Amino acid sequence: MELAIHNIKGKDTGRKAKLSKNIFAIEPNDHAIYLDVKQYLANNRKGLHKAKERAEIKGSTRKIKKQKGTGTARAGSIKNPLFRGGGRVFGPRPRSYDQKVNKKVKRLARKSALSYKAKSKAIIIVEDFDFSKPNTKDYLSILKALDLQAKKTLMVLNGGNKNIYLSSRNLKNSKVVVNSELNTYEITDATNVLILESAVDGLESNLK
């Protein structure tokens, strides 16, 4: 499988990048994608929700009315959950939402997501480039040259290029990641995936 390599001005360089069919042209597994995306979203939950229960409410322990003869239900404490300001019955407590997905399933999910993008021609190989300093305007000009300024994009780099990352950070619909940190959610969430020419080999070696 081959894709044309574009430069930062959006022009075809005339060169081709060879992509592995075992990664970019497999039969997608929807359930693997579902499991991996579900795990990613669940693991991002903080789980810090908390409601005070009866024992945690501040208030008097005095019996608020006599046991019998009132014609109403007996009540022993102002912290009773039936009263306004009382504790909550079985309220939420801090907990972990982390889930586990096997490495092979996660790898299959990423391959499936990339295969979907390749099938819909949403993967663009970009010639290697660098910024001498962070510049959002220059990064945006690259997206405009590729006619992607109005779309949600994900750029995959070979290494931690800080200047490119900082240049994209202010753009709402743009995200930059290293090939070793690529995950299924980000692939499926983006409209187009931009892969730097030097990042292709590292990406394929991570998914073999």
Domain boundaries, given as residue ranges, for the chain: 2-45+101-207, 47-96
pLDDT recorded at residue 20: 92
**Homologous superfamily, domain 2-45+101-207:** Ribosomal protein L4/L1 (3.40.1370.10)
- Read off the pLDDT of residues 164-196 as tens digits, 9 standing for 90 and up: 999 999 899 999 999 889 999 999 999 999 999
pLDDT recorded at residue 1: 82
pLDDT recorded at residue 167: 92
Question: Is the C-alpha dihedral spanning 141, 144, 146, 150 positive or negative?
Answer: positive
Strand segments, DSSP code E, in 102-152 are 123-126
Burial class (CB in 10 A: 0-12, 13-18, 19+), 74: exposed
pLDDT recorded at residue 50: 95
Length of the chain: 208
Q: What are 157's strand-pairing partners? A: 178
Residue ranges for the chain with pLDDT beneath 70: 160
pTM for the whole structure: 0.82
pLDDT recorded at residue 195: 94
